[in-house]
């Protein structure tokens, strides 16, 4: 039998195939020779600096803010738990430590699988290839890109160790929820550092790189669970976990965090102040260089202040009644369709209505005077009865105003009380601000700029210039002490009419009554307006304007008119806290500040505050004798005067002054625990209007101050100001040693020729005092 033909049929095709292979190899070699030199220099990865966001912390290390497009928490490979690495190997690249950049076994397996299924069902990219793609290439699915990816993988493997490659991968990869890298993902999904997670949680994280949006446990918990179970199975098959660990991990509840933005301490206004400062200093680099800013804020102080302001505003709101439904949505078709579809519709309608802490929006489904059924975002239906309806009762019945009546479709607010029962509430229209400060250093300990930063990010503590009302009087009285007054000087609280050029100003006391002759101490304790005006007439507004600069106030905000005596200028709560620190610390100037230090990503301190410190380098602002006597007088305000309810705190070292402006537009309380802590509260509307009712400083602002001070001063010993040299005590009163006799009285003849002010108390100001004031001064000094 002739076998030659059969040999030809075998030889020629074989030669053809070999030739094609050689041609392919030659083409591939040429392509490599052309493309390889043009590939990016992978050595740039040696100086890998991921975009790490700006993070803001309290002085005691609690995070209160984060700013940046990408949320990162850089991990050194040595700090990555072994089980996390193994979970990643099982999910993405089981032969990572064996291959040289491209896993040919996995490629062959993937090609066979795809050929068998007739479509692409799996890939074979190694972790090294993913590093190449993430750092140097686009995500487009083309042969050219895959070719470059493979070459870059070889190049990376030649220049970096396996652990270095894995470190790059674990810090650069997008894992959903704005989390880049596994360090950030651990905190975002679970609220813990990665070394505190379980095997089940490692598996969940390891399943994310394949498709972060598809397997996101927050958005798609079922798909995420399926993916997690796959990773656990592969870990078990590869011998990374035992049978017992595998079984336990499969049934473990994961408790994924649903919210990304919340921090345990609500310090949004402080964090925003830091952000603005950092952008001013570092421009766009502030968001990417991983700076850590440690503020002077204390976590417990900040959270206490936040809650005090919120509760104070909610109490204010309750005193003024329920206003009705916020808005209405169409629920006429709510009863139709499956439950899930109806809930999706309501969730969509409520999507733009933001929560406010523990006060949630809800849609009313049923309403009657005895029961309201409402739907809350997330699928919860609430039934409110009894006490839960009490606040809104007048807006539920048929007699209520139809425009705001609680009826089906109404959007209301609900909150869960301490007993776990739901009640109807509302978001206050009133605003407030609170600032507390260490008077010995100027370090801010708490700052709240409003009821809710997410609703209104205007910082009322630092940006709201408002009239301080009577809370400014201690500045005027302090100036009077320097001009020869004493705390026992008698001034007449009697009617005063000031006329000049056809203008007439007849100021009144807030209670409408006059008490006749009284000491300076009594006048401040009772906040007598007529006495304050007579004092300012005597010392002149010009002197008071110059003197107040010792406390940090600027002349442009306080024109030299008689209405200055009633707090007609403009201040911020932040500014007032610094001013009252001068009294609280014994007369020394401290510079208020809120940033303690700034660190770079490596922990190197790039900025350290250098504050004035009382007893070290703080300069004298006012005579310590003055500060001591004024603190004593303001102590009487708390003991016997307009802030007497603060005595319920059970401390003897408290001092301060209430403030209520003309027409009750603003309410204040500025006070302190001597040498310990200063706190300032403001209450008012963004667009000034009367607060209504009896909402004075002692009624609207003081309770917020008391709530804060009552908690943060608990266990802090009293440290009253020591009596400085040059102060003597005669009877129950303190004097400068050279002024032990009481100065002649002021205004006892009930006369005044002062020029008129241009407005009422708390208004825009008035003209300077006239010549007859000089005669009074001659009598006094």
Question: What positions carry a catalytic annotation?
Answer: 92, 470
Token digits of residue 766 = 């008035």
Q: Between the CA of residue 231 and those of 238, 249, 281, what are the distances in Å? A: 11, 11, 46
Task: Using alpha carbons, select from 49, 54, 55, 52 the residue that is nearest to residue 72.
Answer: 52
CA distance 80 to 162: 14
Task: Using alpha carbons, select from 641, 637, 703, 695 the residue that is nearest to residue 663.
Answer: 695
User: In 200-214, which positions are buried (b, 16+ CB within 10 angstroms) versus exposed (e)?
Assistant: bbbbbbbbbbeebee
CA distance 236 to 334: 48
Token digits of residue 121 = 């069902």
CA distance 382 to 376: 7
Task: Using alpha carbons, select from 91, 337, 420 the residue that is nearest to residue 229.
Answer: 91
Contacts 24+ apart (CB under 8 A), 683-689: 683/312, 683/313, 683/316, 683/430, 683/431, 683/432, 684/430, 684/431, 684/432, 684/464, 684/466, 685/429, 685/430, 685/431, 686/431, 686/456, 686/458, 688/466, 689/665
Task: Using alpha carbons, select from 646, 631, 626 the residue that is nearest to residue 727.
Answer: 626
For 659, counting Cβ atoms within 10 Å of its Cβ (0-12 exposed, 13-18 middle, 19+ buried), the class is: buried
CA distance 477 to 633: 10
Q: Between the CA of residue 473 and those of 50, 117, 281, 762, 780, what are the distances in Å? A: 54, 85, 38, 12, 20
Bridge partners of 672?
655, 678
CA distance 654 to 66: 37
Token digits of residue 309 = 């302001």
Q: Are 572 and 434 in contact (CB under 8 A)?
A: no
Q: Which residues contact 66 (CB under 8 A, 6 or more apart)?
A: 53, 54, 55, 56
Bridge partners of 655?
672
CA distance 535 to 562: 10
CA distance 411 to 330: 11
Token digits of residue 234 = 């592969």
CA distance 742 to 686: 45
Q: What angle do CA 206, 211, 213 make, to 5 degrees?
A: 110
CA distance 536 to 523: 13
What sign does the dihedral 521-526-530-533 (CA atoms) show? positive
- Helix, strand or coil for residue 673? strand
Q: Which residues contact 445 (CB under 8 A, 6 or more apart)?
A: 296, 297, 298, 301, 302, 436, 437, 438, 677, 712
3-state percent breakdown (helix, strand, coil) of the chain, nearest 5: 40, 15, 40
């Amino acid at each position: 039998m002739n076998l030659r033909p059969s040999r030809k049929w075998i030889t020629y095709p074989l030669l053809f195939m070999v030739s094609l292979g050689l041609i392919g190899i030659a083409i591939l070699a040429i392509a490599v020779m052309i493309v390889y030199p043009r590939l990016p220099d992978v050595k740039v990865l040696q100086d890998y600096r991921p975009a790490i966001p700006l993070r803001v912390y309290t002085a005691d290390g609690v995070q209160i803010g984060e700013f940046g497009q990408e949320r990162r928490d850089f991990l050194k490979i040595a700090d990555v738990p072994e089980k996390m690495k193994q979970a990643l190997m099982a999910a993405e690249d089981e032969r990572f430590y064996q291959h040289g950049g491209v896993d040919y076994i996995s490629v062959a397996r993937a090609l066979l699988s795809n050929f068998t299924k007739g479509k692409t069902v799996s890939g074979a990219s190694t972790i090294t290839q993913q590093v190449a793609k993430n750092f140097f290439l686009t995500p487009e699915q083309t042969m050219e890109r895959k070719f470059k990816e493979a070459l870059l993988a070889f190049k990376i493997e030649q220049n970096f160790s396996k652990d270095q490659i894995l470190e790059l991968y674990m810090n650069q990869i997008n894992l959903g929820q704005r989390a880049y890298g596994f360090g950030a993902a651990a905190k975002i999904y679970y609220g813990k550092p990665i070394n505190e997670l379980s095997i089940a949680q490692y598996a969940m994280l390891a399943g994310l790189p394949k498709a972060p949006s598809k397997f996101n446990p927050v958005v798609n918990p079922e798909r995420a669970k399926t993916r997690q179970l796959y990773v656990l199975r592969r870990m078990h098959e590869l011998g990374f976990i035992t049978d017992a660990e595998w079984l336990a991990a499969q049934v473990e509840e994961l408790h994924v965090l649903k919210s990304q933005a919340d921090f345990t301490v609500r310090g949004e206004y402080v964090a925003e102040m830091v952000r603005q400062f950092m952008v001013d200093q570092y421009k766009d680099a502030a968001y990417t260089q991983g700076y850590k800013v440690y503020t002077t804020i204390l976590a417990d102080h900040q959270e206490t202040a936040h809650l005090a302001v919120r509760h104070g505003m909610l109490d204010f709101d309750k005193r003024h009644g329920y206003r009705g439904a916020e808005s209405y949505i169409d629920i006429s078709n709510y009863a139709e369709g499956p439950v899930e579809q109806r809930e999706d519709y309501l969730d969509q309608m409520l999507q733009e209505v933001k929560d406010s802490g523990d006060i949630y929006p809800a849609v009313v489904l049923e309403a009657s005077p005895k029961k309201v059924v409402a739907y809350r975002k997330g699928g919860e239906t609430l039934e409110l009865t009894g006490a839960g309806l009490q606040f809104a009762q007048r807006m539920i019945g048929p007699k209520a105003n139809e425009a705001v009546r609680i009826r089906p479709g109404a959007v209301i607010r609900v909150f869960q009380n301490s007993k776990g029962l739901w009640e109807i509430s509302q978001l206050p229209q009133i605003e407030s601000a609170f600032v507390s400060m260490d008077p010995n250093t100027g370090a801010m300990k708490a700052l709240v700029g409003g009821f809710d930063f997410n609703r209104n990010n205007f910082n009322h503590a630092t940006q709201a210039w408002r009239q301080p009302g009577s809370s400014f009087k201690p500045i005027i009285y302090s100036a009077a002490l320097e001009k020869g007054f004493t705390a026992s000087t008698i001034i007449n609280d009697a009617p005063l009419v000031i006329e000049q050029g056809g203008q007439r100003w007849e100021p009144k006391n807030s209670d409408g009554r006059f008490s006749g002759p009284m000491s300076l101490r009594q006048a401040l304790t009772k906040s007598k307006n007529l006495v304050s005006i007579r004092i300012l007439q005597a010392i002149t507004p010009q002197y008071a304007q110059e003197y107040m600069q010792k406390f940090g106030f600027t002349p442009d905000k306080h024109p030299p008119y008689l209405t200055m005596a009633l707090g007609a200028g403009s201040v911020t709560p932040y500014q007032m806290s610094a001013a009252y620190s001068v009294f609280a610390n014994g007369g020394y100037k401290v510079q208020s500040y809120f940033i303690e230090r700034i660190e770079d990503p490596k922990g190197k301190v790039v900025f350290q505050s250098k504050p004035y410190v009382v007893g070290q380098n703080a300069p004298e602002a006012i005579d310590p004798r003055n500060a001591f006597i004024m603190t004593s007088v303001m102590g009487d305000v708390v003991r016997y005067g307009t802030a007497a309810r603060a005595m319920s705190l059970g401390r003897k070292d408290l001092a301060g002054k209430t403030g209520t402006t003309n027409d009750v537009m603003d309410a204040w309380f500025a006070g302190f625990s001597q040498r310990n802590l200063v706190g300032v509260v403001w209450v008012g509307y963004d667009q000034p209007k009367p607060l209504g009712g009896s909402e004075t400083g002692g009624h609207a602002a003081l309770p917020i101050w008391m709530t804060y001070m009552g908690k943060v001063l608990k266990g802090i010993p009293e440290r009253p100001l020591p009596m400085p040299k040059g102060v003597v005590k005669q009877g129950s009163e303190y004097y400068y040693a050279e002024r032990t006799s009481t100065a002649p009285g002021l205004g006892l003849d009930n006369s005044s020729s002062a020029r008129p002010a241009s407005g009422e108390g708390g208004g825009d100001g008035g003209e300077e005092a006239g010549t007859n004031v000089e005669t009074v001064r001659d009598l006094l000094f």
